[in-house]
Every structure is written in structure tokens, then in C-alpha cells.
Structure 1
């Protein structure tokens, strides 16, 4: 089985995440997409994150209607901060019959050469890249790389930061979230302060 790993803090998960995940699983050779809830991204401040279990709960309810999209808490018990190369080694050992690929936005590909052991990642895993509106240059070493697949997915420019700030400012964000996720956020009074 070919599984695409879509890493994120999902703070909160929104329709943009689901649009991209669903497009990739339906229009590529990926059999499933796992939304990997990251406990602590080394490039983000931890204090802005909801607790791990709340973000995982939101992902769980967001994917209920998508049988090819699953949630994953694989990084919860790994040393922090989480580095993709370590997670890939762990998940490959845990699921030896699966082939794991990475899913990332074009903006992340531009800085991929700065990731810890990025060459090791490329040796063992394909990368599916979805388009983003962004400036800057992608390293030429990634042009026509046999393991990097650019996918003609819809460009979705919705950010979790925008959603959190809008909720704090009492702005309606219902169209940007799966309804059951919006209900969870509202009932738990998240992001209001």
C-alpha cells in the first residue's frame, strides 16, 4: 500500500487540508493519506498549539466521511522536536509492508534542502508537491528529480493562523472549517482569547 504522509499541526484542520488530501488520494497513485498530527514543529512556537489530543480529535472528526484519509498520532511518542527523517524511520519499521511518501506544499520544497538529513529522505521516499502561491526559488537540484512529483492540485490559500485570529476577533469562519470541527471548536471555546 502506498501511503502519503501529510504532516501538520492542524491547529485547526480546515477545508484546505481536506481539499488537498482528497485531491491527492483521488488523482495520484497514493492509496491512502495519513494526516500526521505533529506535536511540535521545530519551526513553530509550541505555546500557540492546542493540546495534542484536541488537535487529533479535530482531525479524527474531520476525516470521518473520507475512507481513504486517516488521522495519525505516530509522532506523539517520539522524541521532541519531531524531525521528519526520524518519523519516517520509525513508521517504516512499524509498517514494513507499506510504502510511505511525503506530501508537502511547494513553499516547503523551497526550504527542503535545509531539512535534517533531507538526502536520506529522498533516498527512500517519494515526495508529492502541491502548488502554493509563494515567492522564491526552488533549488535546481529538485528540478526533474525522479522522487519529486508535482501534483496539479487546487491552490488553496487558507491558513490556520487566519482562522484562529478570526475566531479571536469574533469573525465567522464557518465556511473554512468542516462543520463538525467548527462545532468542536465552538463547544470547547478554543481560540477565543
Structure 2
């Protein structure tokens, strides 16, 4: 099975995340997309990041009607701080018959060379890249790379920060969120202060 790993804090998960994940599931040749919720880094100030279990629950609620999208808490059980290369090694060991790929925005691809053991990542895994509005030119090292696939996905410019600020300011952000996620946020009074 070909699995695309879409990492994020998902604080909260929004319709933009679902548009990208579903597009990858339907148009990239991947069988499933695992939405990997990244845990709160214990070394960083908490700020507006919700507890891990709440963010995982919102991903579960957002993806339950999409059979090819799956929530994943795999990084919750790995030593912190964690690196993507470690997560992939752990998953490959746990699911030896799966082929894992990374999903990332074009902006993240440009900083990939700064990631721990990025050469190992590129050697062992494919990377599926969705477009972002950016004026940066693509790093020449990654142009025409056989393991990097530029996917003609919709450009979605919705941010979790914008949604959190909107909630705090009492704005109606309901159209930007899956309905069940919006209900969960409302019920728990998240992002209000």
C-alpha cells in the first residue's frame, strides 16, 4: 500500500487541509493519506496550541467521512524532539509492506535541505509537493529530482492562525472548517481567549 504522510499541528484542521489531502488521495497514485498530528514540543512555549488529544480528535472528526484519509498519532509515542526521518524509520519497521511518502507544500520543499538526514529521506521516500503562493524560486537541487513529484493541486490559502484569530475576535469562521470540527471547537470554547 502506498501511504502519503501529511504532517501538521492541525490547530485546527480546516477545509484547506482536507482539500489538499483528498486531492493527493485521488490524483497522485497514493492509496491512503495519513494525517500525522505533530505533538506539542515540550521545549517550546505552549501558546495557542491545543492539547495533543484534542487536535487528534478534530482530525478524526474531519476525516471520518473520507475512507482514504486516516488520522495518525504515531509521533505521540516517539521520543521528543522528533525528526521526520525517525518517524519514517519507525513506520517502515512497523508496516514493512507499506511504501511511505511525504506530502509537503512547496514552501517546505525549499527548506528541505535543512532537515535532519534529508538525503536519507530523499533516497528512501518519494515526496509529493502541492503548490503554495510563493515568490521563492525552487532550490535547484530539487528541480527534476526523480523522487520529487509536483502535484497540480488547488492552491488553498487558509491558515489555522487566521481561524484561531477569527474565533478569538468572534467572527464566523464556520465555512473554513469541517462542520464537526467547528462544533467541537464551539462546544469546548477553544481559541476564545
TM-score normalised to structure 2 length = 0.97
Q: Deviations over 1:123-165 (max 9, x none)?
A: 1000000000012222101000000000000000000000001
What is the distance in 1 between the residues matched to 2:8 and 2:41?
8
Consecutive unaligned residues of structure 2, counting only runs of 5 or more, are none
Contact 1:40 1:82 in 2 (8 A): no
1:134-173 → structure 2 map (5 Å cutoff):
134-173=134-173
Q: Deviations over 1:37-70 (max 9, x none)?
A: 000369x754331000000000001001100000
Q: 1:141 to 1:45 in 2, by over 3 A?
A: farther
Q: Deviations over 1:2-30 (max 9, x none)?
A: 00000000000000000000011000110
Would you identify which runs of 4 or more consecutive aligned residues in structure 1 move more than 4 Å?
Answer: none
What is the distance in 1 between the residues matched to 2:186 and 2:82?
29
Aligned counterpart, 2:177: 177
| Counterpart secondary structure, 2:75 | coil
What is the distance in 2 between the residues matched to 1:114 and 1:123?
16
Aligned counterpart, 2:8: 8
Give 1:79 shift.
Answer: 1.1
Consecutive unaligned residues of structure 1, counting only runs of 5 or more, are none
1:24-43 → structure 2 map (5 Å cutoff):
24-40=24-40
Is 1:100 matched up with 2:87? no
Contact 2:2 2:30 in 1 (8 A): yes
Q: Provide the aligned C-alpha RMSD in A.
A: 1.5
